[in-house]
């Protein structure tokens, strides 16, 4: 990847333009009954981030998860970490904790 330029990637047959790639620690959460920091109801495609690293509203591609939007924050989500939303507790346990590439989409 060349710094300062937009690059293209392809995953799952879909191509997308990105401006930056972050290596992040990824965890998962599920329904808490609360709205996100952005005021939305969390659903698959919602990701909690540290807004000092990834601004809220940023469109993302998270390896192993897919396309998402940074709509939430969390007290444990600091630095290069993302917390992805999944529909069930079992799915969260299956996700576990992993290191992923997070593409900041153009």
Q: Specify the number of domains making up the chain.
A: 1
User: Residue 32 — pLDDT band, cuts 50, 70, 90?
Assistant: confident
Tell me the per-residue pLDDT of 64-104, one tens digit each, with 9 for 90 and over: 999 999 999 999 999 999 999 999 999 999 999 999 999 99
Question: What is d(CA 91, CA 14) in angstroms, rounded to the nearest whole number?
Answer: 24
Instruction: Kindly state whether residue 2 falls inside one of the protein's structural domains.
Output: no
pLDDT for position 77? 97
pLDDT for position 1? 46
Instruction: Kindly state whether residue 1 falls inside one of the protein's structural domains.
Output: no
The CA–CA distances, whole Å, from 98 to 14, 25, 40 equal 23, 6, 26
Residue 84 has, within 13 A of its CA and on its CB side, a CA count of 30
Instruction: Kindly state whether residue 42 falls inside one of the protein's structural domains.
Output: yes
Please state, rounded to an integer, the average pLDDT across all residues of the chain.
Answer: 92
Instruction: Kindly state whether residue 46 falls inside one of the protein's structural domains.
Output: yes
Instruction: Kindly state whether residue 96 falls inside one of the protein's structural domains.
Output: yes
pLDDT for position 84? 98
Domain of residue 23, residue span: 7-105
CATH number reported for the structural domain that contains residue 48 in this entry = 2.40.40.10
């Amino acid at each position: 990847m060349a710094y300062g330029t937009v690059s293209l990637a392809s995953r799952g047959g879909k191509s997308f333009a990105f401006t930056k790639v972050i290596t992040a620690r990824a965890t998962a959460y599920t329904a808490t009954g609360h709205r996100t920091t952005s005021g939305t109801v969390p659903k698959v495609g919602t990701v909690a981030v540290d807004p000092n690293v990834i601004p809220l509203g940023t469109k993302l591609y998270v390896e192993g998860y897919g396309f998402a939007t940074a709509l939430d924050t969390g007290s444990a989500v600091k630095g290069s970490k993302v917390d992805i939303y999944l529909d069930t507790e079992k799915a969260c346990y299956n996700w576990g904790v992993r290191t992923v590439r997070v593409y900041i989409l153009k």
